[in-house]
Structure 1
Amino acid sequence: MTAPACLAHPWRMHTYPSFDGTQIAYYDLGSGPIVLMLHGFSGNAEINWLQPGIAQKIAAAGYRVIAPDLRGHGASPFEAPPERWPADAVARDQIALLAHLGETPLATLGYSMGAISALRFHLLSRNTGRLILGGIGDAVADEWNAARNTAFRAAIEEAIEGKDTPAAKTIRARAKSTGGSLTGYLGALSARVYTPADLLATFDVPTLVVTGTDDLDNGSGPGLAAKIPGARYKALTGNHLTAVMDPALPEAILEDLAAAQRSSSAT
């Protein structure tokens, strides 16, 4: 499978059959220890990781970047109605992806929905060397807090109904620019599961939390780091949407990966 015509980079996109047979697309860049990179809600791997050059910097540093378009997003369409989405589908897709590759990632990196999914992936598989969590805070440890999902769902439903509210216009434009679908976005929301604090307390891998200083969309970044044993927090500049463009983000990622390599060599 080749990348959609809207993509400007030369890397080839591959697909694999996930746990339920759904075809999921992913990019594979570089060589070396695997870094699994999960993008945010209504985005895709190209917009989140390739356009800002983050994936290329990681690959150039000697790592193999695996960056999927998450189910219902980009080149991984899934048009089932929300009630037919498997619970934890996105996290389970990553388990299937790593089984397909026959590899264990040195690190799993996610931003926003991708970071929420990274938590679920580790909870279900315990199959990553470390976690790098961007754009999420302690609200994702509250399994009863549905406010953000409710707001997204309302915007999507308005868009499906053809309404011209600002939120509906924004989500329609987002789907058009990323190759996603409104149905896919609704399903991804329906399958989302947060990881409460008592389960975060069982995590035993090095974890880095990074958020913009003006990003409180998912609660407090330092607050989330405090709930994960031994986790560290690093502040970026900007808000939820702009922090991913801060040059300090790839620098923090590469520093963390270098620490993982040193730790691996020491053992």
Structure 2
Amino acid sequence: MRQPVAGDLPTLHAESADGVLIAYRVHGVAEADEQLPPVLLVHGFASNAAVTWEGTGWVRALLDAHRGVISVDLRGHGDSDKPIEADAYAPERLGGDLLAVLDSVGAGDVDVVGYSMGNRVVAALTELAPERVRRVVIGGAGPTELFATWDLDEARALLLRDEPARNPVIEQVLRPAIAAGADREALLACIEGVSGAPLLIPGDIPALFVAGEQDPVPVGARELALEWGADYVSIPGRDHVSTLTSRAFKSAAIEFLA
């Protein structure tokens, strides 16, 4: 029998160390292969678990592969609390949110799939509790943190005063988020708090890099994978958004995490 992906599942909340409530859902863990840990899915900036992982078929693909799934809304996003102070989005706090979710679920360890900014949060988790992470898939991210390349005054002016940004990437990222009703102050705080966050995974945790062939965001990912001795998969013809829907991405991740 197929398990429900989202509609019939409750949204649960874990309380992080600073009192922020983090929304998450647990999919199919009771029916999963007991020999493998659940897969923690960590979305990127200005998105949420439903859009990134449920709407693109990731949760269904993992359930069909007999993997349990934990999907999380990062703070400032989705059904999680949305503080508006930049300090609330320091990488160690974001990593702590994931740890709070794992503790709430009762998961001893997990495999992790991160996308875009979510990989900075995954990196913080592996720094806080490396023993809780078995394997990591790094999707749509490379050594350069995107916000560190932005003029933060431009992002602030666009989010708070609707002033156009000279940088087209800022426009391309923030305008759709605003149109979708995102909390502007929370997004700004997230940008300020995450800007420059490193992508560092302990060397004893196996990692797979996946990047769309036409995606400029993970520039340098192939070289970083080579430096780490990690696996690397390029998805032909895909950009930063369309890489998520790729069957090849899902297949590569499921095979790597087996």
* TM-score, with structure 1 as normaliser: 0.81
One-letter amino acid matched to 1:218 = P
The alignment partner of 2:215 has SS state of coil
Q: CA deviation at 1:180?
A: 3.1
Farther-moved stretch of structure 1 (245-254 vs 100-109): 100-109
Residue 75 of structure 1 corresponds to 79
C-alpha deviation, 1:86, in angstroms: 4.5
Distance 1:240 1:169, change over 3 A: closer
Contact 1:77 1:181 in 2 (8 A): no
Which residue is 2:198 aligned to? 195
**Greater Cα shift, 39-48 or 28-37:** 28-37
Which residue number corresponds to residue 128 of structure 1?
133
Residue matched to 1:21: 19
1:156, 1:182 within 8 Å by CA — same for their partners in 2? no
CA contact (8 A) 1:37 1:108 kept: yes
Partner secondary structure for residue 155 of structure 1: helix
Question: Is the aligned partner of 1:137 residue 2:142?
Answer: yes
1:56 maps to which residue? 60
2:82 partner amino acid: F
Tell me if 1:114 matches 2:113. Answer: no
What residue is the counterpart of 1:174 in the other structure? 177
Q: What is the match of residue 101 of structure 2?
A: 97
Aligned to 1:4: none
- In 2, Cα distance between equivalents of 1:9 and 1:176: 24
* Helix, strand or coil at the partner of 1:52: coil
Shift of 1:156: 4.6
Structure 1 Cα separation of the partners of residues 204 and 111 of structure 2: 13
Structure 2: which 5+ runs fail to align? Answer: 1-5
Deviations 1:51-97 (Å, cap 9, x if unpaired)? 01111110222111111110101111323322454452211111111
CA distance in 1 between counterparts of 2:129 and 2:66 reads 25
Query: How far apart, in 2, do the equivalents of 1:25 and 1:245 lie?
Result: 23
Answer whether contact 2:91 2:197 (CA < 8 A) is retained: no
2:3 alignment counterpart: none
SS in 2 for 1:88: helix
Matched letter for residue 29 of structure 1? H
Supply the AA of the counterpart residue of 1:139: T
The residue number in structure 1 matching 2:254 is 254
How many pairs are equivalent? 242
